[in-house]
Chain A
Amino acid sequence: KNEVEQSPQNLTAQEGEFITINCSYSVGISALHWLQQHPGGGIVSLFMLSSGKKKHGRLIATINIQEKHSSLHITASHPRDSAVYICAVQRAGGTSYGKLTFGQGTILTVHP
Chain B
Amino acid sequence: GAGVSQSPSNKVTEKGKDVELRCDPISGHTALYWYRQRLGQGLEFLIYFQGNSAPDKSGLPSDRFSAERTGESVSTLTIQRTQQEDSAVYLCASSLRVRGAEQFFGPGTRLTVL
Contacts and interface: CB of A to CB of B under 8 A. Distances in A.
Interface of A: 30-31, 33, 35, 41-45, 48, 50, 86, 88, 90, 95-105
Contacts of B110: 41
Contacts of A104: 42
Interface residues of B, number: 26
Interface in B1-59: 31, 33, 35, 42-45, 48, 50, 56, 58-59
Nearest to A4: B42
Interface string B79-101: 00000000001010100001111
Contacts, number: 62
A61 to B, nearest CB: 13
A48 B91 CA distance: 19
Nearest to A35: B105
A45 B45 contact: no
